[in-house]
């Protein structure tokens, strides 16, 4: 107890990411972004640079499932009717042909499918039309309904959809832990620069090993809490 008699706030990673309040959020690890046969891979982007981070994301998801932490998969899902005028004009001003990247992660195509890790039956999937998982979706409401106030985030790419999602999460008063070795960009300097900006402003950086160790430490408490619910 503190001097004033109030309980001290939790101050360990194990308490911050306790399974009773936390979800792992996996962002955009989809065929068009991450697989050689996807749209970007076919366009000549070296998607192999993402492999180490995706491997860590898979390990993180495995650890979450073992600790009974919910795993939420967020993926871009586009359609012609969601191709906004701002997006089209931005593409034009960058001197790209209108269809060059417009059809990325089209609903119902193989390119929109998740790579590995993949969702299991019953795990929440959030399809988003924009960069942020909170724009044009019920993501915030779905988190609140599940009693989740803490997000452990991984995925691609650090400077784009990860960045937009974690900033929006912070603005909505979620506690955000960004797993830096389970996130990546196509350019390592871009990844590192984005991490520095996010750490400065809205996230707590952690590693996959940090989070796995925290869940191992707090799992018995979580199980006791569930048993008493």
Residues labelled as active-site residues:
28, 128, 161
If one counts every other C-beta atom within 10 angstroms of the C-beta of residue 94, the result is: 9
Report CA-CA distances (Å) from 46 to 43, 88, 99, 114, 189: 9, 25, 20, 18, 15
The 3-state DSSP class for residue 114 equals strand
Give bridge partners of residue 178 from the DSSP assignment: 153, 205
**What is the rounded CA–CA span in Å between residue 113 and residue 181?**
23
144 Cβ partners below 8 Å, 6+ apart?
Answer: none
């Amino acid at each position: 107890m503190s001097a004033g008699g109030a309980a001290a706030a939790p101050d360990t990673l194990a308490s911050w990411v306790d399974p009773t309040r936390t979800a792992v959020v996996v962002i955009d690890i989809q065929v068009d972004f991450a697989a050689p046969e996807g749209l970007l891979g076919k366009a000549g982007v070296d998607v192999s640079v993402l492999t180490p981070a995706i491997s860590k994301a898979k390990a993180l998801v495995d650890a979450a499932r073992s600790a009974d932490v919910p795993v939420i998969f967020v993926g871009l899902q586009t359609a012609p009717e969601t191709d906004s005028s701002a997006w089209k004009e931005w593409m034009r001003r960058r001197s790209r042909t209108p269809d060059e990247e417009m059809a990325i992660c089209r609903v119902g195509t193989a390119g929109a499918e998740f790579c590995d890790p993949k969702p299991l039956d019953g795990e929440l999937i959030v399809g988003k039309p924009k960069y942020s998982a909170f724009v044009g979706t019920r993501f915030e409401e779905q988190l609140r309904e599940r009693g989740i106030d803490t997000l452990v985030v991984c995925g691609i790419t650090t400077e784009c959809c990860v960045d937009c999602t974690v900033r929006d999460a912070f603005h909505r008063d979620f506690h955000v832990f960004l797993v830096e070795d389970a996130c990546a960009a196509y350019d390592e300097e871009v990844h590192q620069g984005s991490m520095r900006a996010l750490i400065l402003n809205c996230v707590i950086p952690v590693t996959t090993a940090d989070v796995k160790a925290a869940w191992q430490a707090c799992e018995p408490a979580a199980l006791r809490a569930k048993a008493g619910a």
